[in-house]
Amino acid sequence: MKISPLKDWLSDEKPIIISGPCSAESFEQLMQTAICLKDIENVKVFRAGVWKPRTRPSKFEGVGDIGLEWLKEVRKETGLKTAVEVASQLHVEKALKANVDMLWIGARTVVNPFLVQNIADTLKGVDIPVMVKNPLHPDVDLWIGALERLNKSGIDKLIAIHRGFFFYKNHDYRNQPMWEIPIELKRLVPELPVFCDPSHISGKRDNIFRISQKAIDLEMDGLMIETHIKPDEALTDANQQITPKELKNIINKISIRTKRKENESINSTIDKFRLEIDKLDAELLDILQKRMNIVDEIGKYKKNNDITILQIERWREMYLQRMDIGKNMGYNVDFLKKLLKLIHQESIRRQENIFEE
């Protein structure tokens, strides 16, 4: 993808903050919130939903077009860039007509390639930044697909926003962070800026700082955090919105850790540790390879002597015995289970191949 670097069109500050209420509710609410946010240095963009996707139709579904007029006033008064969520051609046309600075596509829209394509087609030839939230379910391809559709339409100012994933069980989070998904996105599209939206991951105020710090430690470029002048009275997502003052405290608390320090002795200590890890990983792979070679030998022997591959009693004993050793060594039990199962599955797979030969 051809992607324009953030510093060329937004800021090179870290972290860049996008903030504002979940929904535009009234002119006063928007303006008061924005005036407080304007004084927080890292805040570069003011967000507000004017069309709200709600689970049930009887809930507040946004103020609609009038919200776009309020946003114009906000920009005039504060100098902040403005951003709204769009989910259809009509939304895009209205937002462009009202000179909104940035658009975002919400998690419920990103799941649908028809809708995303329709938005991308509407944006052909338009130079506007677009933020793409992760789809509701953890599918990195679907997320990249949406970004690609926009990119093919000529949108090169793109930001991916990690807002967590729907999980059918109740949990500590409103949306599971599943950090491995944004990490995979960064691996596959390294030039793409990625922000985190701790508000929608957390679903409540308590965890916003912790999630923000984690996102910054994972080298995300910025944060989208919902703020409201009176969070308890918010018409949508009241539990997760914070005041601009609370946002400021959170930003001040976040530590920005650098990849490399200027200090040479720190760098050389880290290099030494890394060298050690490299060596151990090589040994680990070597030992695993030796184990697999024996697995192949046994496979051939079983085949020649008509013995079944999987002998559940033997696997059960092995598993319990290895778990015991591992637990005594202080391994995390979940990790141990996954590791042992993975090794066993691969061994079975290899022996199945031998049987089929």
50 binds, among Mn ion, ligand PEP, none (CB under 5 to 8 A by kind): none
Structure tokens at 284: 């680990």
Contact 203, 194 (CB under 8 A): no
- Least spacing, CB of residue 272 vs Mn ion, in Å: 46
CA dihedral 246, 158, 85, 135 (to 10 degrees): -90
Our CB check for Mn ion shows the closer of 199 and 347 to be 199
Tell me how far apart the alpha carbons of residues 85 and 88 are, in angstroms, rounded to a whole number: 10
What residue is closest to ligand PEP based on CB? 106
Question: What's the first-to-final CA gap in the chain, in angstroms?
Answer: 43
Write out the residues near Mn ion by the rule CB under 5 A: 22, 237
- Least spacing, CB of residue 133 vs ligand PEP, in Å: 4
Our CB check for ligand PEP shows the closer of 149 and 174 to be 174
- Least spacing, CB of residue 315 vs Mn ion, in Å: 47
Our CB check for Mn ion shows the closer of 24 and 43 to be 24
Packing angle of the helix pair 113-122, 140-152 (nearest 10 deg): 20
163 binds, among Mn ion, ligand PEP, none (CB under 5 to 8 A by kind): ligand PEP
Contact 76, 38 (CB under 8 A): no
The structure tokens 């949108």 sit at 155
Q: Please state the three-class secondary structure of the chain as a single string.
A: CCCCCHHHHCCCCCCEEEEECCECCCHHHHHHHHHHHHCCCCEEEEECECCCCCCCCCCCCCCCHHHHHHHHHHHHHHCCEEEEECCCHHHHHHHHHCCCCEEEECHHHHCCHHHHHHHHHHCCCCCCCEEEECCCCCCHHHHHHHHHHHHHCCCCCEEEEECCECCCCCCCCCCECCCHHHHHHHHHCCCCCEEECHHHHHCCCCCHHHHHHHHHHCCCCEEEEEECCCHHHCCCCHHHCECHHHHHHHHHHCCCCCCCCCCHHHHHHHHHHHHHHHHHHHHHHHHHHHHHHHHHHHHHHHHHCCCCCCCHHHHHHHHHHHHHHHHHHCCCHHHHHHHHHHHHHHHHHHHHHHHHC
Our CB check for Mn ion shows the closer of 22 and 225 to be 22
- Least spacing, CB of residue 340 vs Mn ion, in Å: 41
- Least spacing, CB of residue 279 vs ligand PEP, in Å: 43
- Least spacing, CB of residue 226 vs Mn ion, in Å: 6
350 binds, among ligand PEP, Mn ion, none (CB under 5 to 8 A by kind): none
Structure tokens at 270: 């880290």
107 binds, among Mn ion, ligand PEP, none (CB under 5 to 8 A by kind): ligand PEP
106 binds, among Mn ion, ligand PEP, none (CB under 5 to 8 A by kind): ligand PEP
Our CB check for ligand PEP shows the closer of 94 and 200 to be 200
- Least spacing, CB of residue 95 vs ligand PEP, in Å: 15
- Least spacing, CB of residue 13 vs Mn ion, in Å: 24
14 binds, among ligand PEP, Mn ion, none (CB under 5 to 8 A by kind): none
What residue is closest to Mn ion based on CB? 22
Write out the residues near ligand PEP by the rule CB under 6 A: 22, 49, 53, 106-108, 133, 163, 200
Our CB check for ligand PEP shows the closer of 53 and 326 to be 53
- Least spacing, CB of residue 103 vs Mn ion, in Å: 16
Tell me how far apart the alpha carbons of residues 315 and 344 are, in angstroms, rounded to a whole number: 8
